[in-house]
A and B are shown apart, each in its own frame.
Chain A
Amino acid sequence: MLIQIKDLTKTYQRHNGAINAVDSLSFDIDKGSFITITGPSGSGKTTLLLIIGGLLRPTSGRMIYGGNELNLDSDEEMAIFRSNHIGFVMQSFALVPYLTAVENIMIALNVKNKNKAENRNRAIELLKWVGLDDRTTHYPRELSAGQQQRVAIARALANSPDLLLADEPTGNLDPGLSREILSILSKINKEQKTTIVMVTHSPVAAEYGDVKIHLQEGKLLGHSIMKKVFVS
Chain B
Amino acid sequence: MRLTDLTLKELWHRKSQLLSGLLAITLGIGVIVGIRSISIVSEKAVSVNLDNLGANILILPQAASVDNYYAADIDAPTFPEEYVEKIVTSTLPGVDNLSPKLTRRIKLGNESVVLTGILPKSEIASKPIWQQGGLKAEQLIASCAPSKTPKKYLDAKLQRKGIDTLANNDCYIGYSIAQRLNLSEGSTLTLQNKEFKVTKILPETGTVDDDRVFANLHEVQSLLGTGEQISAIEIMGCCNEITDGLLGKMRNVLPDTRITTIGQIVSTQIKTNQLMNKLSLVFLIIIVFVGGISIGNYIWANVNERRKEIGILRMIGYQKRHIYNILILKAMIMGLTGGIAGYIIGTVAAVWLGPQFAGISVSPLYILLPVSIAIAIIISVTGSVIPAYMAGKIESFSNMQED
Q: Which of A95, A98, A119 contacts B9 (CB 8 A)?
A: A98
Q: Which residue of A lies closest to B3 (CB)?
A: A110
Classify the secondary structure of B's interface with A.
Answer: helix
Tell whether A88 pairs with B315 under 8 Å between CB atoms, given A46-B401, A56-B395. Answer: yes
**CB neighbors of A among B360-403 (8 A):** 395-397, 400-403
User: Is B317 in contact with chain A by the CB < 8 A criterion?
Assistant: yes
Tell whether A107 pairs with B395 under 8 Å between CB atoms, given A92-B402, A99-B9. Answer: no
User: Is B105 in contact with chain A by the CB < 8 A criterion?
Assistant: no
Q: Which of A56, A88, A95, A119 contacts B1 (CB 8 A)?
A: A119
User: Is B309 in contact with chain A by the CB < 8 A criterion?
Assistant: yes
Q: Which of B10, B12, B400 contacts A167 (CB 8 A)?
A: B400
Q: Which residue of A lies closest to B2 (CB)?
A: A110
Chain B residues contacting A96 (CB-CB under 8 Å) are 6, 309, 312-313
- Give the shortest distance, in Å, between B395 (CB) and chain A (any CB): 7
Tell whether A110 pairs with B1 under 8 Å between CB atoms, given A55-B396, A76-B319, A94-B315. Answer: yes
User: Is B316 in contact with chain A by the CB < 8 A criterion?
Assistant: yes
Chain A residues contacting B313 (CB-CB under 8 Å) are 96, 107
User: Is A23 in contact with chain B by the CB < 8 A criterion?
Assistant: no
CA distance A88 to B317 in the complex (A): 10
Contact B6 A99 (CB under 8 A): yes
Tell whether A83 pairs with B320 under 8 Å between CB atoms, given A96-B309, A116-B2. Answer: no
Most buried by B among A47, A84, A110: A110
Contact A79 B318 (CB under 8 A): yes
Q: Which residue of A lies closest to B309 (CB)?
A: A96
Q: Which of B311, B315, B317, B395 contacts A159 (CB 8 A)?
A: B317
A166-185 CB mask vs B (1 if < 8 Å, else 0) is: 01000100000000000000
Chain B residues contacting A97 (CB-CB under 8 Å) are 13, 309
- Give the shortest distance, in Å, between B303 (CB) and chain A (any CB): 15
User: Is A223 in contact with chain B by the CB < 8 A criterion?
Assistant: no
Contact A83 B401 (CB under 8 A): no
- Give the shortest distance, in Å, between B58 (CB) and chain A (any CB): 69
Q: Which of B2, B308, B320, B395 contacts A55 (CB 8 A)?
A: B395
Q: Which bucket holds chain A's interface residue count?
A: 35 or more
How many residues of chain B have a CB within 8 Å of chain A? Answer: 29
Chain B residues contacting A95 (CB-CB under 8 Å) are 312
- Give the shortest distance, in Å, between A80 (CB) and chain B (any CB): 7
Tell whether A111 pairs with B317 under 8 Å between CB atoms, given A96-B312, A98-B13. Answer: yes
A41-76 CB mask vs B (1 if < 8 Å, else 0) is: 100001100100101100000000000000000011
Most buried by A among B6, B9, B311, B312: B312
Tell whether A107 pairs with B1 under 8 Å between CB atoms, given A76-B320, A99-B9. Answer: yes
Contact B397 A107 (CB under 8 A): no
Contact A50 B397 (CB under 8 A): yes
Tell whether A55 pairs with B397 under 8 Å between CB atoms, given A98-B10, A98-B13, A114-B2. Answer: yes
Chain A residues contacting B307 (CB-CB under 8 Å) are none
User: Is B314 in contact with chain A by the CB < 8 A criterion?
Assistant: yes
Contact B6 A107 (CB under 8 A): yes
Most buried by B among A46, A80, A98, A155: A98
User: Is A189 in contact with chain B by the CB < 8 A criterion?
Assistant: no
Chain B residues contacting A47 (CB-CB under 8 Å) are 397
**CB neighbors of B among A137-180 (8 A):** 155, 158-159, 167, 171
Contact B319 A75 (CB under 8 A): yes
User: Is A24 in contact with chain B by the CB < 8 A criterion?
Assistant: no
User: Is A29 in contact with chain B by the CB < 8 A criterion?
Assistant: no
CA distance A110 to B12 in the complex (A): 21
Chain A residues contacting B403 (CB-CB under 8 Å) are 41
Chain B residues contacting A171 (CB-CB under 8 Å) are 402
User: Is A106 in contact with chain B by the CB < 8 A criterion?
Assistant: yes
Chain B residues contacting A111 (CB-CB under 8 Å) are 316-318, 322
- Give the shortest distance, in Å, between A195 (CB) and chain B (any CB): 18
B171-205 CB mask vs A (1 if < 8 Å, else 0) is: 00000000000000000000000000000000000
B1-41 CB mask vs A (1 if < 8 Å, else 0) is: 11101100110110000000000000000000000000000
Residue pairs across A and B with Cβ atoms less than 8 A apart, 8 shown, are A50-B397, A76-B320, A84-B317, A90-B400, A98-B12, A107-B1, A108-B317, A159-B317
Give me the interface of A with B, judged by CB distance under 8 Å. Answer: 41, 46-47, 50, 53, 55-56, 75-76, 79-80, 82-84, 86, 88, 90-92, 94-99, 103, 106-112, 114, 116, 119, 155, 158-159, 167, 171
Known: A83-B316, A108-B317, A109-B1. 5 other contacts (CB 8 A): A41-B403, A55-B396, A55-B397, A98-B9, A98-B12
Top 8 A-B pairs ranked by shortest CB distance?
Answer: A83-B317, A106-B1, A98-B13, A79-B319, A50-B397, A108-B316, A111-B317, A55-B396
